[in-house]
Structure 1
Amino acid sequence: MKTLLVATLLSLGLPHLAAGGELSDLIMAPGLFVDAGAPDGQGEILRYAHSRHLPGREPAGADTGITLPEPVTDGRAVLSRNPQEEKLALSLSADGTPLHVVAEFPVDGPNPILLMFLENAVRNMTAQTGGSPHYIRNRIRESLAASGQGAAVEGLAVAELHPFRDDPNRSRMGDFGQLKLTITYDPDEPARLVELMADTGTGQGGYTESMSLIEEE
């Protein structure tokens, strides 16, 4: 299961190697965490607060075989390092469940936090609309590759992606045709993603998901 999850998530980063863009060249670059971690090369690297709100209606794609993720009110995502195997470990908890490792990634690969966030958007949209995950994933990758570095806001960069704004199939996507992905990051430390937000712009009746960096005390 972990191997399948890692392969699926890494597939989001592969087009960067062939056709990168300003944004993907910064935040999707492989090896951003090669030198990250505690002085001994291990331990926790980044910690995020995680929330997810889903539409209250029955998903149209219930028969697609894609499992719809559960809503999350108070979740955590932690990226840490395993120096013995030169791996990055991604751990999750949600609404009181214990923090547990869900996947391990090569230390010289793309950012697992970003990959997980983007794949969550793919899974949610697939399950809610019945659309093809491959088509949805490709549109998101293309919007990431085509994006500039974003607007400067108080020392950070904020990039907004609209993967389906000009899509010829937008009318079949319901609220997800309006999906906006907002990526806030530190341009001087591109591995430091400050906030990730997915939003269909339909309030409590739509889909929203966020991951916010928990600053070190």
Structure 2
Amino acid sequence: MAASAVRAAGDPVKPAEQLLFMADHLKTVRVPADLVYRFDKGGSLVPAGSEEVHVRLSRSSKGVSAVVSDAAGAAPFALEAPLQGNPVILYFLEKDIAEMGRLTGGQPRYFQKRIRLALAQGPAITPVTAELDGKPVPARQIVIQPYLDDPNHVRFEKLVGKRYTFVLSGRVPGQVLLLKSEVPGEAPDLARDFVHPLQTETLRYLGAKP
């Protein structure tokens, strides 16, 4: 998901794009390392489930490379050196985009473009206090709703209010603390009822291993 894919030539990179796709998330990680996350999903749109996701980092003369794997036992993708960004962000988004395609019959590239456009519009980066191992840590949060103004939303009305939350912290190896997508409940205002969501998917940092 190259951040520049929907930007006109010469347009500046927005801070949210920089933080998610261009920052050096791995600069404080002691490589080799295995960054471990838990992916949970629940709701009425897809079956509930939970699995571990591993980002295995290795180093060569060219720099850091990564292999991402989940409960399927296979590597959804590998990224070659030199790598700076945490590939778990791409893993989470590609997984979400594929599911959007299955639920709607639409093309994954369409949903990918909507997410890129939302980030290219310059959403706020909000300082927040998050939790790591039961302790508060400073973090930065980005929230987007890519489909609210989608001219084709009639094809997926239940999903039009879907919200994505990205929480990153320099206190976390790889910086990614939480990634979350939520489909709001069927209230009169579909964009706002997140108290009773139809669907949630959360990827949360668990720890790092050598």
TM-score (norm 1): 0.72
Indicate the RMSD between aligned Cα atoms, in angstroms.
Answer: 3.0
Gaps of at least 5 residues in structure 2 are 130-137, 186-193
Q: Are residues 1:117 and 2:92 paired?
A: yes
Note if contact 2:33-2:208 (Cα within 8 Å) is conserved in structure 1: no
Distance (Å, rounded) in 1 between the aligned partners of 2:106 and 2:6: 26
For residue 15 of structure 1, the aligned residue among 4, 10, 23 is 4
User: CA shift at 1:163, angstroms?
Assistant: 0.2
- Higher normalized helix content (fraction of residues): 1
For residue 126 of structure 1, the aligned residue among 84, 101, 105 is 101
Q: Are residues 1:177 and 2:160 paired?
A: yes
User: CA shift at 1:112, angstroms?
Assistant: 1.2
> Where in structure 2 are the equivalents of 1:25-44 lying within 5 Å?
25-29=18-22, 31-33=24-26, 35=27, 37-38=29-30, 41-44=31-34
User: CA shift at 1:17, angstroms?
Assistant: 9.9
Corresponding pairs, count: 185
Distance (Å, rounded) in 1 between the aligned partners of 2:87 and 2:41: 18
Note if contact 1:55-1:207 (Cα within 8 Å) is conserved in structure 2: yes
User: CA shift at 1:205, angstroms?
Assistant: 7.6
> Where in structure 2 are the equivalents of 1:130-145 lying within 5 Å?
130-145=105-120
Q: Match for residue 41 of structure 2? A: 52
Note if contact 1:143-1:163 (Cα within 8 Å) is conserved in structure 2: yes
Q: Match for residue 108 of structure 1? A: 82
> Where in structure 2 are the equivalents of 1:62-101 lying within 5 Å?
71=47, 73-84=49-60, 86-93=64-71, 100-101=74-75
Deviations 1:147-197 (A, max 9, x none): 334222222222110001111112221211111001111268794111111
Deviations 1:31-50 (A, max 9, x none): 543x4543xx3122x21111
For residue 192 of structure 1, the aligned residue among 159, 166, 175 is 175
Distance (Å, rounded) in 1 between the aligned partners of 2:58 and 2:207: 21
Note if contact 2:51-2:70 (Cα within 8 Å) is conserved in structure 1: yes
Percent identity reads: 18
Gaps of at least 5 residues in structure 1 are 1-11, 57-69
Note if contact 1:179-1:201 (Cα within 8 Å) is conserved in structure 2: yes
TM-score (norm 2): 0.74
